[in-house]
């Protein structure tokens, strides 16, 4: 499995799920966006996606799902993490 320098943090409650992916290079942002596009194929849920600046010149891309009645977000997040080679998510 490839080594990854993207940090991942998950937060969820009830029907809300959020995956935050911190990165430092533009190529990583593109890789994250590609992983999200691939992982969401075939699911009826549409994520809300936004990017923010964080300290040290890094950025964070956030993927949120609201009203996830069927709890599909977990499967989508698993696909994203696997595609990016992330083995640990806080």
- Read off the CATH number of the domain in which 66 is found: 3.30.70
pLDDT of residue 34: 97
Q: pTM here?
A: 0.88
Residue 53 in any domain: the answer is yes
Site of tokens 């080679």? 85
Contact 40, 73 (CB under 8 A): no
Residue 1 in any domain: the answer is no
Residue 16 in any domain: the answer is yes
- Show the tokens assigned to 61: 């891309």
Residues 77-86 have pLDDT tens digits of 999 999 999 9
Per DSSP bridges, beta strands 7-13 and 48-53 are unpaired
pLDDT of residue 1: 41
Q: Which domain holds residue 69?
A: 7-84
Residue 79 in any domain: the answer is yes
- Show the tokens assigned to 83: 């595609």
pLDDT of residue 81: 95
Cα(47)–Cα(76) distance, integer angstroms? 10
Counting as low any pLDDT under 50, the low residues of the chain are 1-3
Cα(62)–Cα(66) distance, integer angstroms? 13
Residue 58 in any domain: the answer is yes
Residue 80 phi/psi, 5-degree rounding, is -60, -50
Neighbours of 6 (CB within 10 A): 21
Residue 25 in any domain: the answer is yes
Residue 2 in any domain: the answer is no
| Overall number of domains in the chain | 1
């Amino acid at each position: 499995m490839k080594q990854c320098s993207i940090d991942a943090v998950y937060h969820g409650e009830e029907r809300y799920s959020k995956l935050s992916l911190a990165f430092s290079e533009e190529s990583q942002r593109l890789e994250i966006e590609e992983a999200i596009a691939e992982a969401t194929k075939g699911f009826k849920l549409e994520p809300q996606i936004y990017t923010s600046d964080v300290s040290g010149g890094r950025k964070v891309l956030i993927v949120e799902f609201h009203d996830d009645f069927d709890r599909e977000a977990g499967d989508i997040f698993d696909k994203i993490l696997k595609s990016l080679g992330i083995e640990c998510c806080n």
